A and B are shown apart, each in its own frame.
Chain A
Amino acid sequence: MITQLDQWLFKAAPSSRLATLRILCGLYATIFLVARAESFWTTADLPARQVEGVGVLWFLDSPLSATIFHLAFLLTIVLGIAFTLGWQFRFIGPTFSILFLFVATYRLSFGHVIHTEHLIALHLLVLGFTQSGDALSLGRRTQENDAERQSAVYGWPIQIMILLTVITYVLAGISKVQHGGWDWLTGDVLRNQVAYDNLRKELLGSPHSPFGGWLVRFGWLFPPAAIATSIVEIGAFVALANQQRLRWLFALSAWAFHVGVVLTMAISFPYPLSFVAYAPLFAVEQIWSTKLVTRLLRRKTYL
């Protein structure tokens, strides 16, 4: 058993795979910060009475200086670019992943935890504190920038990222059954949830899903949807197997589940929807040899 665990965790992988994950996750996180800049920025103006520290800011009971938070947020974006490029990674890797954790934690320290940044924050911590800057990095000498190097040093962080992804889904699946019980599996909880979530958005003057509201009329749709959701979430552990077919099955069904959440409740989980959340499951370094990327890189070289 321990030998099998050892073999699973310390599986050799090319340095370019971990580096490609660094580029994908770094790029995603930086774009996310820019896209949600207004939400992050206005966090500094939320009322002091709402402060309720979570995670690494559990001790927080009053707001931070707006200037300090704004500077930290801007610095996080700048370091996100450097992280993606792999520049000065021994310093930038840990610093960016901790700063991302800090600004995301602070945004969620005002009374309600939303779940869009949990997985990317954990993935960035893994990438930031491991050797994901050993290949495809700006400013490294060619002999150091060996994309073909195979080692467990590059494999175990990827296996941890996979494990974190799987745990996220399994926990979400268990929570639903634990709270909703049998009513979750019969679809009643899901139907009421879709109705309530859309109604709340309407009453709070926010974009909602008219499609989800319309679907609520058809009660028979919800039992199969609830069972399918539970199978996708609790069944996520199949992605731990080193079989591409099972991994694709999990990734595509989980992605479809998130598309369903957008369509029925107008709730977006951008990390899985971007598919970057599932990238650790695959040999992502192969994207550099696809025709499209090769052509783009060649064109850039001519310029």
Chain B
Amino acid sequence: MINQHDSFPLSPYPMFSSRRTTTESVDTAVFVTESGNIYRLNPEIIAGTDEVILAAQSVSLSIANGSTAQLCEEISGRFDADTAGQIEVVTEVFDAVNWYADDKSPISRTVHATCQDNS
């Protein structure tokens, strides 16, 4: 019906229209301490931007084109941890609705790259 090729300033405005299920995967990067605690990194550390969607897309693109090791090193350069640990580029799958019903255990977790914090 409408050409779905998104562009600027002309667009089919596809935001919020994807046929999402409750189970969705999120590509992100985290800092994992030696004791196994997971700390979330913000978009500026992950991708050098304050746009969350762009940060998510940066991780997804790096997974798609096999450059997660490079991304991991770039994140490491932007991150200053005060404890020992490593950075992981991951895909986490959650039931998003259950998450907000306090079931926060991941359905699956795939680590694409790890690197030491350089700080």
Is A184 engaged at the interface, CB distance under 8 Å to the other chain? yes
On whether the beta carbons of B56 and A204 are closer than 8 Å, the reply is yes
Question: Interface readout for A33-46 with B: 1 if CB under 8 Å, 0 if not?
Answer: 00000110011011
Interface residues of A in 165-189 (CB under 8 A from B): 168, 171-172, 174-176, 178-181, 183-184, 189
Nearest first, the 6 A-B pairs at minimum CB distance are A195-B96, A172-B13, A205-B42, A205-B40, A192-B20, A179-B17
In the complex, the number of residue pairs spanning A and B with C-beta atoms less than 8 Å apart equals 172
On whether the beta carbons of A111 and B54 are closer than 8 Å, the reply is yes
Tell me, in angstroms, the Cα distance from A79 to B62 when the chains sit together: 37
Task: Point out the residues of chain B lying under 8 angstroms from A39, CB to CB.
Answer: 49-51
On whether the beta carbons of B11 and A118 are closer than 8 Å, the reply is yes
On whether the beta carbons of B20 and A115 are closer than 8 Å, the reply is no
Number of interface residues of A (CB under 8 A): 61
Tell me, in angstroms, the Cα distance from A204 to B10 when the chains sit together: 28
Number of interface residues of B (CB under 8 A): 53
Chain A interface main SS type: helix
Interface-lining segment among B21-29, B80-88, B110-118: B21-29
Task: Point out the residues of chain B lying under 8 angstroms from A108, CB to CB.
Answer: 8
Task: Point out the residues of chain B lying under 8 angstroms from A47, CB to CB.
Answer: 58, 74
Which residues in A have some Cβ–Cβ distance to B below 8 Å? Answer: 38-39, 42-43, 45-47, 49-50, 54-55, 58, 101, 104-105, 108, 110-115, 117-119, 121-122, 125, 168, 171-172, 174-176, 178-181, 183-184, 189-193, 195-206, 213-214, 216-217
On whether the beta carbons of A171 and B9 are closer than 8 Å, the reply is no
12 contacts between A and B (CB under 8 A): A111-B58, A118-B8, A172-B15, A174-B12, A180-B17, A192-B22, A199-B24, A199-B100, A203-B94, A204-B28, A204-B41, A216-B100
Question: Interface readout for B33-67 with A: 1 if CB under 8 Å, 0 if not?
Answer: 00000001111011111111111111001100101
Q: A192-B96, A195-B97, A196-B96 are in contact. List 14 more A-B contacts (CB 8 A).
A: A47-B58, A50-B57, A111-B54, A118-B9, A172-B13, A172-B17, A175-B12, A189-B17, A189-B18, A193-B20, A195-B22, A199-B99, A205-B41, A213-B99
